[in-house]
Amino acid sequence: MDAGLSGKKTKDLLADVGVDINDIDMAFLSHDHTDHSGGLGVLMRRYPRIDAFANSGTWQYLLDTQKIGKLPAEQMNTIEPGQTKTFGDLDVTAFATSHDAAEPQYYVFTSGGKRVAFLTDTGYVSEEVEGTIEDADAYMMEFNYDTMMLRDGPYSWPLKQRILSDVGHLSNDQAAQALVDVVTSKTKHIFLAHRSQHNNTEYLAHETAKEMLIEGNADLSDDAKIIDTEPAKPTKLIQI
């Protein structure tokens, strides 16, 4: 799911959790921004077995700009917003998001009755998106910024406006409210992702998620876990 780090870094981080990159069959790309796509071209060229999936708008932008280099046509596959594709016992559903990229989308992965939803890089969470991702066993959710830290921080005003906009990123409060709306008693793992290094802290993101889930009477079981993540450190593998 996305490949924003270098090919070598991706390989090394997978190895850190016991995964051989040669065992990776597929890569799903959310959008064209370099922090999500920057290493994909290298991975595709270096590992021909990897089939990469994105929507046609994202592929076209990457081909036109050549921002991640030459892309092997035989490894490029499309999955469009609203479409579900099946790979053996794995169903992958793509859904559109609101971000200032060519054609951003994220994914829900379903296998054996278990669902994992990924959602970062969106300025807001629509009712349609909530309907798509609700009742998942695990979430990878963007907790990008604390609103006060962003407003008082060092970024230029135009950049602050972009992040705060409907095509920007999710604040801690926005993300936590979306979780209140979509989690159920089957949800056991919530990963807090895409946290800004300048406009957020691990503590603020974690406490906002925990407090709003409690205050919102979210239908979570006692054994549900909120898991903090880092952009260049692998989390432990978990079984869903």
How many whole angstroms separate alpha carbon 196 and alpha carbon 64?
29
Query: Is residue 58 included in any domain, yes or no?
Result: yes
**Within 10 Å of residue 215's Cβ, how many Cβ atoms?**
10
- The Cβ-side half-sphere exposure at 177, using a 13 Å CA radius, reads 9
The residue with tokens 């995964």 is 19
Strand partners, 117: 108, 139
Structurally, the chain folds into a number of domains equal to: 2
- The tens digit of pLDDT for each residue in 127-174 reads 999 999 999 999 999 999 999 999 999 999 999 999 999 999 999 999
Give the residue from 210, 232, 141, 233 showing the smallest Cα distance to 178.
141
pLDDT at 219: 87
- Show the CA angle centred on residue 104, arms to residues 103 and 107, nearest 5°: 130
Sheet containing 51-54, strands listed edge to edge, beginning at the edge strand earlier in sequence: 26-28, 51-54, 76-78
Does residue 125 sit in the same domain as residue 240?
Answer: yes
Does residue 61 sit in the same domain as residue 144?
Answer: no
- The tens digit of pLDDT for each residue in 194-217 reads 999 999 999 999 999 999 999 999
- The tens digit of pLDDT for each residue in 106-132 reads 999 999 999 999 999 999 999 999 999
- The tens digit of pLDDT for each residue in 27-79 reads 999 999 999 999 999 999 999 999 999 999 999 999 999 999 999 999 999 99
Query: Is residue 94 included in any domain, yes or no?
Result: no
Does residue 72 sit in the same domain as residue 120?
Answer: no
Q: pLDDT averaged over the chain?
A: 97
| Interaxial angle between packed helices 202-215 and 172-182, expressed in degrees from 0 to 180 and rounded to the nearest 10 | 40
> Looking at residue 178, which CATH number applies to its domain?
3.60.15.10
